[in-house]
Structure 1
Amino acid sequence: MSRLDSMMRRLAAQRDGLEWGIGLIGALEGDIVDMGLGNGRTYDHLREIAPDRRIWVIDRVLQCHPSCVPPEQDFLQGEAEDMLIKLADATAGIALAHYDFGFGDKGKDVAEAARLSPLIAKIMVPGGVVVSGQPLVGMEQVRGPESVAPDRYCFYKA
């Protein structure tokens, strides 16, 4: 599979997974967190599909497209571990989390996801959903939307 096809498959899985997750949380109380803003595409999509939810964003640096800059009070800039701890103190809980942190090195990415998993689990409300580009540990993995191959994206319930 070409890198272009792989990227298109990943982005479609991400979109389908987020929309599936929004459908699953329904009336569940809680905010949303996008872990890894990047250029802001995912954050922008979350704003569109969940306009009534507060969306927190975590990233080391703010370097997204100008149309995708989150409100200052919702952007937690810094190292993931510190920002997840800060988020736990700032919100009553997260109903939907999107995990997209990464270094671009699969081994490092998987290790960081495992290291951060307990902090992610701590911020989730019971019944909350995590949509993740990396495998997480300590949460119940569930089958995501049928349109997403099981090895392409990971889905969890808190």
Structure 2
Amino acid sequence: MITRLEKTLYRLEAQHACLTWAFEQIADKPGLIFELGLGLGRSFNHMRHKLGARAKDIVVFEREVRCYPDCQPDDDQLIIGNLDETLPAAAAKYAGKVVLAHSDVGSMDKGHNAYMSGLVSKNIGPALAPGAIVMSDLPLDIVGCTPHPLPGNARDDRYYLYTKTG
């Protein structure tokens, strides 16, 4: 059995490895990046720094902003509200324009995780461009997407990757 500390460490290692891999994959693909769940802003901050000029293409979804001050998205990048309302509307607005979606909306509550997995799975698909990448801390079942193997240094079941087919 692994400890809670090890679970966190392995999840962060997998998240970092998946982000690094995804940045390489989308380097020459125009489009938007969805960040579902700002939290403290660590992954948004990482994306913003690593993507350089593409940082303007990040659209962040958060119920209530409580991030570190230096991890605050610009107002024009931020969609505030419950994901069950904001994601379907944004998926329709940005249909076929998202090349990377990073979903980090899991918690310690299994019921919440099942709900959020279903919510993201049901609503993210229309936003995705052909060949888009979806990264998630929760397993997803997105119509038109197939699971993708994790990068070599990421542990299974700590993060999940999917690609949009067609």
Q: TM-score, normalised by structure 2?
A: 0.88
Letter in 1 for 2:150: G
Q: How many angstroms apart in 1 are the aligned matches of 2:114 and 2:27?
A: 30
Whether the 8 Å contact between 1:33 and 1:96 is mirrored in structure 2 is yes
Aligned twin of 1:72: 75
Give the share of equivalent positions with the same residue, in percent.
Answer: 32
Q: Which moved more, 1:113-122 or 1:75-84?
A: 113-122
Q: What's the counterpart of residue 58 of structure 2?
A: 55
Q: Within 2, Cα distance between the matches of 1:102 and 1:79?
A: 14
Structure 1: gaps of 5 or more residues = none
Mapping of residues 90-109 of structure 1, within 5 Å: 90-91=93-94, 93-109=97-113
Q: Of residues 129, 143, 146 in structure 1, which corresponds to 2:149?
A: 143
- Tell me the matched-pair count: 158
Q: CA deviation at 1:26?
A: 2.5
Supply the distance in 2 between the matched residues of 1:87 and 1:103 (Cα, whole angstroms): 23
- Counterpart CA distance in 1 for 2:85 and 2:39 is 18
Moved over 6 A (4+): none
Contact 2:88/2:124 (8 A) holds in 1 = no
Amino acid at match of 1:105: D
Separation in 1, partners of 2:7, 2:33: 27
| Structure 2: runs of 5 or more not aligned | none
Aligned-pair Cα RMSD in Å: 1.5
